[in-house]
Structure 1
């Protein structure tokens, strides 16, 4: 199944677009998030060259020694800035009994791969955008970490991060309109949120065997997640009907997924939009891409170009507008977004000691 591709150009230049065209685009965005938990977008502001520049730098970073990378580790800040080493993050599938029961009920062709332990991937967290001066959740709003020897780091991370946040904000506006909510229903809650550019690095020399699970079956704990195109495939998602789909992100496109705050979108829509489930596993297509990279003498680190768009930590999550009357609204009681994030981080072994 091919996910729908929404070109954001018409919305960005809305003065030149007919009202009917814009309404149809917004309906397509909200409909895809509701029915599949994902969609592909084209944003003229996010170029292939920007994505490649970011991937090139992150490949060079992940290729550095473990000793070097651990200098950027900040476990006391819940790994929400700096590097998360391989073997730390525990896949939700291993700690969530409800997910395990759900998987037992799935048909064989739709079941996820079961990991044997913590994810064999590194991740780097880079904060994007301003943070609040006063907050109840200091660990979620800490200052960024810059590794030595990468003078272009801040400029490269900020350039790609801000462009991806801009794309998420447009999709959030369009989704709100499509859901019949005010245009800023979601984006107003995202102001000064702990947005994180969070690329993963997976060593395909060590972990390139077909079936290796880099990121076990899980949902993202944030509001909306956006991915640029990786140089190695392997991401699969589950549609709302339970169908498993290996995602192919066309060149020039970005993948948007609903997170648990999208269960914050799930939370804000009273369960109408469910958090998108996904995994990253070495597939036959990944193995083919590894062989081609070897022939071309390219890096064998699989880097994901991922950004987590968050609701502000001190904002309250609760169903909005007409969703407050939804049949499942009572399952989503008011909670501070930061409190919700801390609970989720503890569940997957990322929450460390308080400051």
Structure 2
């Protein structure tokens, strides 16, 4: 099965073209249904957004490669463990793959069909990650650690502008997909986006050193789901992302140039009472990664695998609960009302990014 590529341009341009309105409304409705159906069945979606170009993605990747190539002691100056690593850098060897500590996921792993098994990590992830807050934060919140000030490394004058520019563009793409998905799920157009306002959105690129960890089977991110609402990625220069469809089938993701990949997180699962489940995925070194490493070596390019990942969140003080007709689902009781910030804190504790309240 191929993940379809949805062009967001017709949706973005709809209001500016009043001709043939009924015909165009039907076309958009069908497009929205395609978005919600694909997210429900695959947990992933490829989109083309004219506001997010391949050049934007390249500029961002160039800067992040330069950063991750810096010495470890330089990078550790941007480490903020007291803020649960929710801003600044998370060094390799800190984040624990959920599949090592979550019994429910371990059961899911065992149940995966032959030929669709995940690679089992043996310890903490050998990847670095940088957390950069994007967008306005609430002036008053019960979740201050989740809404901290950003950290800027020395010697990168272009840092803030590059991070904010790419981050805002990717959030804009997520918002359009969130609107389209809401319509496709039979909800109000702003059912999701109204809850995302002033959310703790995070541009969170990972950096994996393929010079040190470039062997087939190396697991950079073990089998897991994302705890946020929707995750969006620009195209990485090195393949290695596998996802699992709702039926348990494993699939290697190929992101075409100029496209963005969107994945479902746990918060959308909560809001749809499990109709749209959080997409399971892993990042590993595959034969295709090795081919890309060899090519990059020949061309004298960086051997850091950078993902331009952005986590789109529901606002910390908003309540997560099944929306609209999903509240009547027989599974709704599995998703009781809960502040999004409280949910995030619980999830971070599991993967070793947050200690107890006293540690903060």
- Judge same fold: TM > 0.5, yes or no: yes
1:10 aligns with 2:10: yes
In structure 2, the partner of 1:290 is 293
SS of 1:25's partner is helix
Query: 1:326 and 2:329 equivalent?
Result: yes
The answer to whether the 8 A contact 2:152-2:159 is kept is: yes
Deviation for aligned residue 1:102:
1.6
Find the residue that maps to 1:249 and give its secondary structure.
coil
2:29 is equivalent to residue 23 of structure 1: yes
Matched, 1:343 2:343: no
Aligned: 1:44 with 2:25: no
Which of residues 273, 278, 281 is equivalent to 1:275?
Answer: 278
- The 3-state SS of whatever aligns with 2:115 is helix
| Contact 1:259/1:275 (<8 A) preserved | yes
TM-score, normalising length: structure 1: 0.98
Residue 137 of structure 1 aligns with which residue? 143
Tell me which of 300, 320, 326 is aligned to 1:317.
320
Q: Secondary structure at the match of 1:252?
A: coil
Aligned residue runs from structure 1 range 227-246, under 5 A: 227-246=233-252
- 1:196 corresponds, among 202, 211, 219, to 202
Instruction: Check whether the contact 2:225–2:281 (CA below 8 A) recurs between aligned residues.
Output: yes
- The aligned counterpart of 2:41 is 35
Asked if 2 retains the 8 angstrom alpha-carbon contact of 1:48 and 1:252, the reply is: yes
Residues of 1 paired with 2:225 and 2:108: CA distance? Answer: 14
Kept in 1: contact 2:113–2:248 (CA 8 A) = no
Q: Distance in 2 between matches of 1:149 and 1:184?
A: 41
1:61-210 equivalence runs, <5 A: 61-210=67-216
Distance between the aligned counterparts of 2:327 and 2:78, measured in 1? 42
Verify the 8 A CA contact 1:260 1:266 in the aligned structure 2: yes
Check the 8 A contact 2:118/2:223 in 1, yes or no.
yes
Taking the aligned partners of 1:241 and 1:101, their CA distance within structure 2 comes to 15
Task: Give the length in aligned residue pairs.
Answer: 352
Task: Indicate the SS of the match to 2:310.
Answer: strand
Q: Is the 8 A contact 1:77 1:354 kept in 2?
A: no
Secondary structure in structure 2 of the residue aligned to 1:90 = coil
State how far apart, in whole Å, the 2-side matches of 1:45 and 1:283 are.
31
CA distance in 1, matches of 2:292, 2:71: 24
Query: Cα distance, 1:354 vs. partner?
Result: 4.6
Using the alignment, how far apart are the partners of 2:104 and 2:163 within structure 1? 37
Cα separation, 2, equivalents of 1:167 and 1:209: 34
1:37/1:257 contact within 8 Å kept: yes
- Rounded to whole Å, the distance in 1 between the matches of 2:55 and 2:343 is 36
CA contact (8 A) 2:113 2:249 kept: no
Instruction: State whether residues 86 and 121 of structure 1, in contact with CA within 8 Å, keep that contact through their aligned partners in structure 2.
Output: yes
- 1:234-260 CA-to-partner distances (Å, cap 9, x unmatched) read 000000011000000000100000011
1:306 matched residue in structure 2: 309
- Partner-residue secondary structure (3-state), 2:233: strand
Give, in whole Å, the separation in 1 of the partners of 2:174 and 2:105: 28
Query: Which runs of 5 or more structure 2 residues have no equivalent in the other structure?
Result: none
How far apart are residue 108 of structure 1 and its match?
2.2
Structure 2: distance between partners of 1:154 and 1:86: 23
